[in-house]
């Protein structure tokens, strides 16, 4: 797809702060191996150990001109199929997906990117589907949008969210109203040093019905060209740290840990992820 410099999609609102604070942290053991066949098919196998439970899947990715087909099979014999068509019309991406043997899982999704707008809509292949729509308007400096879902079977809105994002050269501030107005999340993402990819961020969430507040701070820093460190802490005393090293091009080993400072007698949670790509 031809890149359009615009506001992106609704899911991009607050995304950099979320990635900084939550991406790559885990308490499980995960191993991923990717290979590329001579005819251009990418095959990825992964296994994850969650306590005594072991989950595995294998996926194949084939690109033919502007059509990408992704098929994944997991340990429960579910087959996930996604077909993506780039640019069937200018600025448009079409995505068809379904999960076998679930006959009600079929869905079609359309994305449209414009210089001043981004739209994403999806519809399930059922007699009375849930209709999802999200849209944003703005430019590379400010974005406002909404994300809604309507259940045609019940005639009710199952999701009604809104958000706004303000963007400068090194700072992104976002505000989102979620859960039909029952919660609000404010976040910021700040680039301290582009040279070392040093960034800091924070997220504050308030639940109007539960009266619960969650405040999370995080930071990221590149120690060198191949090694990154991350850390985060929240107001519940949970402290997380992460070390990620690119030991060969596109192949990563990630070690992460979590300590509950309010229950220091409990063992720390340690996660390990190894990803090998050609």
DSSP 3-state assignment of 10?
Answer: helix
Q: Do the beta carbons of residue 188 and residue 176 sit within 8 Å?
A: no
180 φ/ψ angles, rounded to the nearest 5 degrees = 55, 40
Decide: pTM greater than 0.95.
no
Residues with Cβ within 8 Å of residue 77, at least 6 apart in sequence: none
First-last CA distance in the chain: 24
User: What local confidence, expressed as pLDDT, does residue 4 receive?
Assistant: 54
How do residues 145-168 score in pLDDT, each as one tens digit?
999 999 999 999 999 999 999 999
How do residues 183-211 score in pLDDT, each as one tens digit?
999 999 999 999 999 999 999 999 999 99
Residues with Cβ within 8 Å of residue 48, at least 6 apart in sequence: 28, 29, 30, 31, 54, 55, 56
The stretch 92-100 carries a mean pLDDT of: 96
Q: Do the beta carbons of residue 185 and residue 203 sit within 8 Å?
A: yes
The stretch 118-132 carries a mean pLDDT of: 95
Residues with Cβ within 8 Å of residue 73, at least 6 apart in sequence: 57, 58, 59, 79, 80
User: What local confidence, expressed as pLDDT, does residue 198 receive?
Assistant: 98
Could you tell me what percent of the chain has a pLDDT over 90?
A: 92
- How many Å apart are CA 108 and CA 104, to the nearest integer? 12
How do residues 223-269 score in pLDDT, each as one tens digit?
999 999 999 999 999 999 999 999 999 999 999 999 999 998 888 99
- pLDDT category of residue 140 using cuts at 50, 70 and 90: confident
Tally of CA atoms within 13 A in the half-sphere of 185 that contains its CB: 19
Residue 276 has pLDDT above 70, yes or no: yes
- How many Å apart are CA 121 and CA 134, to the nearest integer? 6
Tally of CA atoms within 13 A in the half-sphere of 4 that contains its CB: 21
Residue 1 has pLDDT above 50, yes or no: no
């Amino acid at each position: 797809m031809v890149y359009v410099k615009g506001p992106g999609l609704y899911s991009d609102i607050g995304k950099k702060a979320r990635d900084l604070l939550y991406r790559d942290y885990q308490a499980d053991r995960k191993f991923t191996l990717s290979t590329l066949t001579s005819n251009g098919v990418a095959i990825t196998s992964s296994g994850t150990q969650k306590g005594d439970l072991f989950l595995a899947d294998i996926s194949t990715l084939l690109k033919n001109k502007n059509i990408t087909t992704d098929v994944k099979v997991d340990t429960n014999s579910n087959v996930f199929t996604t077909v993506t068509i780039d640019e069937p019309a200018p600025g448009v991406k079409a995505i068809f997906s379904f999960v076998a043997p679930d006959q009600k899982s079929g869905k079609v999704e359309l994305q449209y990117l414009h210089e001043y707008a981004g739209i994403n809509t999806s519809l399930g292949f059922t007699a009375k589907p849930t209709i999802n729509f999200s849209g944003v308007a703005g430019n590379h400096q400010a974005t406002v949008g909404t994300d809604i879902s309507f259940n045609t079977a019940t005639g009710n809105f199952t999701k009604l969210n809104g958000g706004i994002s303000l963007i400068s050269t090194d700072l992104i501030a976002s505000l989102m109203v979620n859960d039909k107005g029952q919660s609000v999340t404010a976040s910021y993402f700040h680039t301290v040093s582009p040279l070392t990819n040093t960034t800091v961020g924070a997220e504050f969430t308030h639940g109007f019905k539960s009266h619960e507040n969650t405040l999370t701070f995080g930071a990221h820093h590149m120690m060198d060209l191949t090694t990154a460190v991350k850390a985060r802490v929240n107001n519940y005393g949970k402290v997380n740290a992460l070390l990620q090293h690119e030991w060969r091009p596109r192949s990563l080993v990630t070690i992460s840990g979590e300590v509950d400072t309010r229950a220091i007698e409990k063992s720390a949670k340690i996660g390990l992820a190894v990803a090998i790509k050609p």
